[in-house]
Structure 1
Amino acid sequence: MRDTQTMRVGVVLERRHTGNPWQEHAWRPVAVIPGAPELERPRLLMREGPIELYHAATLPIELHPSETEGYRYNLSQAQPRVYVVLRTPEGESEPKPFLATLCPYEAQDYSDSGSDIVDGVPAPDPVLAWVADYVEKHHVEVPFKKRERLPFDPRKGGARGGGRGHG
């Protein structure tokens, strides 16, 4: 689709030693880096005590005209977020960055799956300017349309009145 735009961001993950015998480390996204270079493997950025920060991957954020309502909602928040989805590949034990999105509704869909880690990180200023410009150019307000209720017809049955066809 020609109205889709893409920006690549580096995903920074925090790896924290938990001291838990069943889970040695906990991973969570903490930042994104606009325009980050591609990586062959994760790069250690910092180590301080039990915490390590890694530039774990570079992912595209894609903006789609059909998702501008979600972007608008995100921009209206006190701290707009980039939502990062982490997924553990089959046969591996550590999660990897899978997706970065600015649409909270898309992030919620991944969160609902229960198998992914989804967390929002503060959106950097260049990302905010980019998405705000995109929304300004592509958002189309869809007016609320209340459904008109049809009058009850006892000859057609239905959930009320014990109509046929259910059960």
Structure 2
Amino acid sequence: MHLHAPRRAALLVLPLLLSACGWFGQAHTVRRLDDRLQQRLASDIASGNAALQPIPDGARVTLLGPSSFPVDEQALDDQRRDVRASVIEGLLDPSLMRIQLADTSALPAYQRDLRVRNMAQYLQLNGLGSTLQPAPMPQTAPPGSPPGLVIDVTLQCPPNRGGAGYGDGKSKPICD
């Protein structure tokens, strides 16, 4: 009877440890991304300019309305309020993120393409070009998503390589 006690204890402790992992690692980082985007986009969400939805490995931001989101000097110098800036402010370390863009609105195809190109250019000009994924998303709104300019942000956590920080002078971002 005493021989099975360690086995039973392991069976009881293992589920607890696995559930605790949900508070750390990728799941925790996904929640942090969602919280940051929710905070940065709160006024745009309240005014109907944006929608935010959690997705399994990140977040989906949909910019609503027919704006073409131009990339001009006023937009780049914060001379005009731009919802895209709020999206960027809510993001995490670029090395952890992958971004896909699509326009699922009812606009003509050339306007949807222009909006996607403008958003991609805006991200590139703000140092996030490395996060852009070349494969386009489907051009139809995912179930339960409003139509608009869709920005899917997914996290790709690197394997834990034994420690985090800057020990060798290089950033080692991790999902905590």
Q: The TM-score by the shorter chain falls in which range?
A: under 0.3
Structure number with higher relative contact order (C-alpha < 8 Å, ≥ 6 residues apart): 2
- Higher-strand-fraction structure: 1
Give me the TM-score of the superposition, normalised by structure 2.
0.26
Larger radius of gyration: 1
TM-score, scaled relative to structure 1: 0.28
Higher-helix-fraction structure: 2
